[in-house]
Structure 1
């Protein structure tokens, strides 16, 4: 059963505020790009944090987003594209999608929902694009393309379970994908980290971008609402 499984994105609002302070010495003189639900980080939570840090003007994707922000402090919002006088606009660097020193603010975690021992030469997932080379253990992770996990990550992108970093194994399905544990162990209920903090040994969003050929903002902005946003 996959009902009630954990699909979580941990959003570090302090990282976003820190990136904002670094990118905008005069925070009240820039437009802040919070389109696409703040690049998937969560529109209202991000705007509240940035308004407290001195941000006052925001670029959004839809008129409905303007309405959602009407009650947030002093703030104003304009639907993209912004008027030509309202520049510069801060976007990628705000969420740590550029190179250091910007801090990444997003950590994506799925739950291991099944463990299965399989023999050598066993096809995995749809189309059997991956076959086991030897007897091994497979972990089933409760995230899929219905959550916005790009299918191009199949057989390419890194995933960390426990102390082991493997990769997406076989094709990504609607609600789940597989990781070949390659002799390592895991248990049902373990975290599977798709991307997070490199200092903790976790795969990074930059590595997912490299593996998939997609820009970092494409990956995070496409993540769906089944993934719970947890703010720290």
Structure 2
């Protein structure tokens, strides 16, 4: 496998700002939850964007995070656990992780690194938990459990390649997984969207949560550092 494969998360800071103002009518009186690297969205970029919108207090996971924010020039951070009746915590709604703020800020993309035609009854990935029902084309996507893609998504979670929405096919491996294209085609280098904007016919983070039985916050918080965060 080549070293330059794309593993990318596009973080929409404008969506975060929109969700912030919706869920925190008084921005300077909210404790903004940026634990776990801002739920995988990026501690400093997220905190900076919300500080510019009037956010004044940030809830972090570790003392090191306080120092990181201070070095970035960011008004106050509090290490969890903490309780403050005066400052309600703004968390899941900020990131679009619950129904209170349906606009998700996170789009997760992998790259198709191989395409292969296979016959019917071909076992796919470790343990052959999936077998092809007919001759078909398989796409290999460069994301795996080493990137934090939950293995419970195997044979369950949706993935879009081109105009086709299939699902993770067979078991997720360390660095990659397979999608049965079911008669559709793909090329090496194509984008595989795990979740993004449902208004653009992309799978949603909520669909991944439903498919895996994991909370949306667990999914995004577990994504690893090999995935490049991009702030368009």
Same fold? TM cut 0.5: yes
Distance 1:194 1:138 in 2: 16
Residue equivalent to 1:98: 98
Corresponding position of 2:183: 183
Partner SS, residue 65 of structure 1: helix
Shift of 1:25: 1.1
The alignment's TM-score, normalised by the length of structure 1, stands at: 0.98
SS for the counterpart of 2:78 is: strand
Shift of 1:73: 4.0
- Alignment-derived partner of residue 203 in structure 1: 203
Unmatched 5+ stretches in structure 1: none
The residue number in structure 2 matching 1:44 is: 44
Partner of 1:221 in structure 2? 221
Could you tell me whether the CA contact under 8 Å between 1:31 and 1:86 is conserved in 2? no
Q: Give 5+ residue unaligned stretches, structure 2.
A: none
Query: Match for residue 161 of structure 1?
Result: 161
Distance 1:216 1:2 in 2: 31
Aligned length: 232
Secondary structure at 1:166 match in 2: strand
1:142-164 CA-partner distances (Å, limit 9, x unpaired) = 00000000000000000000000
| Preserved contact between residue 48 and residue 74 of structure 2 (Cα < 8 Å) | no
Match of 2:63 in 1: 63
- Residue in structure 1 matched with residue 12 of structure 2 by the alignment: 12
Separation (CA, whole Å) in 2 of partners of 1:2 and 1:148:
20
CA distance in 1, matches of 2:65, 2:52: 19
Contact 2:93 2:100 in 1 (8 A): no
Q: Distance in 2 between the 1:101 and 1:69 partners?
A: 26
> CA offsets, 1:153-210, max 9 Å, x none?
0000000000000000000000000000000000000000000000000000000000
**Which position in structure 2 is the counterpart of 1:135?**
135
Partner Cα distance (2:60, 2:26) in 1: 20
Deviation at 1:85? Answer: 3.9
Matching residue of 2:78: 78
Is this contact kept in 1: 2:47–2:74, CA < 8 A? Answer: no
Compare 82-91 and 157-166 and name the one that shifted more. Answer: 82-91
Aligned CA-pair RMSD: 1.1
Q: CA deviation at 1:3?
A: 1.3
Residue 2 of structure 1 deviates from its aligned partner by: 3.4
**Does the CA-based 8 Å contact 2:19-2:95 persist in structure 1?**
yes
